[in-house]
Amino acid sequence: MADTLNNFLRELQFGKLEKRVKSHLSKVYTTMGLSLIACAIGSYIHMAEIITAGILTTLLTLGGVIGLMAMAPTDNNGSTRFGLLMGVSMLLGVNQGPLIAMSIHLEPSLVVTAFLATSLVFVCFTLSALLSDDRKWLAIGGVLSSALSWLILFGFLNIFLQSKLLFDIKLYIGLAIFCGYILYDTQLIVEKCRSGDDDYIGHCLMLFLDFINIFRRILILLTDKEAKKERRRKD
């Protein structure tokens, strides 16, 4: 898989990306592929009722993400950080389990459709960031952080308001924000690599979280649409 990614990057000749950067991106995306597999296993674990999603798995996921970000990469802790990344990925899959189970119950193809749509979005925005010769997308970092803070606030308020309209607005805005984060994080990873930061595990985590957040929102939109169709059939 790593060789395939290297060939893909070599053929596209992304702007002025150096060989070292291309090699680093290959590691990042290969590790991300493994994270997605671990996430899928986590979802299966929930549906098989081996470990079910709940407050404990949410707290463990949050703790794992914080721990991974706080653990500086060294020559000796690479395996530990990789194992922690896989654990976080699996727990994220467990936490997505209820949504995935509901989607499969309505229409089994929804999960595959959401995954393919997310992959297409991810690839398109990644290519846009890598093919850009300048670093213009790094300028949107502050805007994205502010927008995400407001999104979290709206989500908290909606716990009490229970507004479907606010929920839908939050869903679409969140989708746009994380698409923006793909652009920002991709160019940030390239610049970090150029400055000597080869932490492919930490960089993978950034993009993996972007992917999962987009996947979740697309799946919710598709599931909601399918649920409306189901209600119309019954009526």
Q: Are 197 and 20 in contact (CB under 8 A)?
A: no
Query: Is the pLDDT reported for residue 205 higher than 70?
Result: yes
Q: What is the mean pLDDT of residues 46-71?
A: 95
Helices (H) and strands (E) in the chain, counts: 8, 0
pLDDT of residue 51: 93
pLDDT digits (tens, 9 = 90+) for 211-223: 999 999 999 999 9
Q: Are 154 and 170 in contact (CB under 8 A)?
A: yes
pLDDT digits (tens, 9 = 90+) for 144-175: 999 999 999 988 888 888 888 889 999 999 99
* Block residue for tokens 């992917």: 211
* CA 45/CA 226 separation, integer angstroms: 25
Instruction: List the chain domain ranges.
Output: 2-234
* CA 112/CA 86 separation, integer angstroms: 22
